[in-house]
Amino acid sequence: MSTPRRLVLATRNQHKVGELHAILGAAGLDVDLVGADAYPEIPDVRETGVTFAENALLKAHALAQATGLPAVADDSGLCVDVLGGAPGIFSARWAGKHGDDRANLELLLAQLSDIAAPHRTAHFACAAALALPDGTERVVEGRLLGTLRHEPAGDGGFGYDPILQPLGETRTCAELTAEEKNAISHRGEAFRALVPLVRELVG
């Protein structure tokens, strides 16, 4: 019986590791998936790219080179049509401090306060990259289309989930169950698109 090939996901978020693990398992791929916390000596990579794809590739290549293993990384954010796609890659630090979800949310709602419902279209975008130690790379993308509420609703999720209402839904992402959100999410879509690439390149 062969030993599963190890694959490293560039995150210290175990929920994200679990999500990709479930997707690979459902596809019948026997892969030993671990997060970046399995290699605490490797520092986090600065996201200096100007697109989600560039940032995902930066992280995937850095981890593949540091570990000598195939690596996956993703980058995602909220793109608001009336803002020309912003906050985009700056989603996590829109209000200035990285990861301050409440400040980011409040600033965005203030900026959109005069925008009527028909013009509040937006989408979550995710780029997922697979990189091998030899430099081979692949990138796939996923999107979750929706509109932005004027007020937050729901206690689930994180980031901008309380204000994005997916198309065809009456609830925000923060009001969906984790299973419901994973089934339609931008990251879930990108991770599912990785399956044939992992099968081809990792085995």
Q: Which of the residues are catalytic?
A: 75
**In terms of Cα–Cα distance, which of 136, 11, 9 is closest to 72?**
9
CA gap 88, 201 in Å, rounded: 30
| AA identity, residue 101 | D
Backbone conformation region of residue 2, classed left if phi is above 0, alpha if psi is from -120 to 50, else beta = beta
